[in-house]
Chain A
């Protein structure tokens, strides 16, 4: 069975640009969450989506946005990129909101802002 697929794997962007990252969850998983990891920090929660609805949002500025489509695929967008947005962005999917079986993570998108 296919895992969680994140594209692209690597990105280099310039300050001020915007970027869109994509995440395709495991088939049948309806919950998708996004996390940011920067050096020295744990996984910082960005958003959680379930059945196309944003259920929770982390403490990030409005430049960070996301959405989920009817096929459960999710995208996140970061506008007006800043150097501090350079990070590994991980997407995780779960069967339902109770996360009874844990998250399945994608391989991540490594974003570098120059």
Chain B
């Protein structure tokens, strides 16, 4: 059984704050790490797919880093906006298995 742990479970910040979340996963036989954003009443949306140790990806104010040797990934949001309010999911894939999702970090950004 693969465990993907995300922390914190929830986060409440003010507009303009920068924030970051952590995703921990088993480091052996790593294949890929995904980040998704899931807004209320919508479908989860892919943010990043990361495959290489040291990978850094950026999309607007959101960026992510990956450390496959120690089994963690960070997601950063710079200058949070109310529209960033969502649950952020990470998912890990090992070898030829399927994606295993963490429980997510719920972010609330207040104006």
Contact = CB atoms under 8 A, between A and B. Distances in A.
A42 B104 contact: yes
Contacts of B44: 43, 90, 92, 103, 105
Contacts of A107: 42-43
Contacts of A14: none
Contacts of A42: 4, 89, 101-104
Contacts of A104: 43, 46
Contacts of B42: 107
Contact of A102 (B46, B96, B102): B46
Interface residues on B, range: 20 to 34
Contacts, number: 58
Interface residues on A, range: 20 to 34
A68 interface: no
Given A3-B43, A103-B99, A105-B45, 19 more contacts: A4-B43, A33-B99, A35-B101, A41-B103, A42-B101, A42-B104, A48-B98, A56-B98, A90-B43, A90-B44, A99-B34, A99-B99, A102-B46, A102-B49, A103-B34, A103-B44, A104-B46, A107-B43, A108-B43
Interface of B: 4, 32, 34, 36, 42-49, 89, 91, 93, 96-104
Interface of A: 3-4, 33, 35, 40-43, 45, 48, 55-56, 90, 92, 97-108
